[in-house]
Amino acid sequence: MIAMQQELNQFEKSEVWELVPRPSNQSVIGTRWVFGNKMDENGIIVRNKARLVAQGFNQEEKIDYEETFAPVARLEAIRMLLAFACFKDFVLYQIDVKNAFLNGFINEEVYVEQPPGSQSFNFPNHVFKPKKALYSLKQAPRAWYERLSKFLLKTGFKMGKIDTTLFIKTKENDMLLVQIDVDDIIFGATNVSLCEEFSKFMHSEFEMSMMGELNFFLGLQIKQLKEGPLDTTLGPFSHFRPIRHHPRPT
């Protein structure tokens, strides 16, 4: 119940939708709750999750949405990034954007039912008209990618010509690399000050829930090792060691 209320509070804070009278000439997409647990790389539950999703299987192409495409990172690209970070001897970090898809704006006219168990007392037959992308809407991944990529390009990044999920920013002789896979983001730089700068302006635009050294991405469990005495500062690590690979679900 607490997790559900936190999700709805996030919707209100992000101004995701507005309550409107039910349309007479357009279909309304259902909503449902999905519950789960967020676990760390050791399989330990760190928090309970409740996510409100749209029943996107009811959407009709050319009526409810136009385009769904959003690029995803290839495992080969991640391995190349790990190798480059090893060669340049810098740390990779990962960040978690809270409710990433809710940051994407949608252009189509879409209506969804009120969340089960949370209907308005005064307007029980009204529906919500989303202004931002809900999870499981067909256009949600594309909308989020457009929002994030435009923000990165506006702040001085250049998009990879071959891999459009890779963004690069240079400053004098240093380089900052950002790899995205839908709502998962990893980054690293030859100068740690660029990482700190990136974290700050990401926090200024999006609500972030965590930042830490990369240890799990696309099913690849990674341990960043450092030769010599253990250093708890943001010092460079000598190499990366893939521990275990968990295949991505198809």
Question: Taking a C-beta distance cutoff of 8 angstroms, is the pair 110, 104 a contact?
Answer: no
Distance CA 96, CA 75 (A): 19
Four-point Cα dihedral 183, 3, 209, 131, nearest 10: 50
Distance CA 85, CA 236 (A): 9
Main-chain dihedrals φ then ψ at residue 182, nearest 5 degrees: 60, -100
Helix (H, G, I), strand (E, B) or coil at 237: coil
Angle in degrees, CA 99, 82, 143, rounded to 5: 25
Distance of CA 227 to the CA centre of its chain: 33
Residue in this structure with the two tokens 């790990």, named with its chain if needed: 82
Distance CA 19, CA 31 (A): 14
- Nearest Cα to Cα of residue 141 among 149, 132, 133, 153: 133
Q: What's the pTM?
A: 0.70
Average pLDDT, the chain: 79
From residue 20, alpha-carbon distances to 64, 124, 126, 147 in Å are: 17, 11, 6, 25
Residue 240's pLDDT is what? Answer: 45
According to the per-residue pLDDT averaged within each range, which of 33-47, 49-63, 81-95 is highest?
81-95
pLDDT band of 19, cuts 50, 70, 90:
very high
Q: Is residue 250 part of a domain?
A: no
Q: What is the DSSP string of 33-75?
A: EEEEEEE-TTS-EEEEEEEEEE-GGG--BTTTBS--------H
Residues with Cβ within 8 Å of 42's Cβ and at least 6 positions away in sequence, in order, are none
Q: Tens digit of pLDDT for each residue in 77-106?
A: 888 888 898 888 888 998 888 778 888 888
Mean pLDDT confidence for 130-145: 83
Q: Is residue 88 part of a domain?
A: yes
Domain holding 187, by residue range, is 2-245
Count: domains in the chain: 1
From residue 151, alpha-carbon distances to 71, 131, 172, 196 in Å are: 16, 18, 22, 17
Q: Structure tokens of 246? A: 């968990």
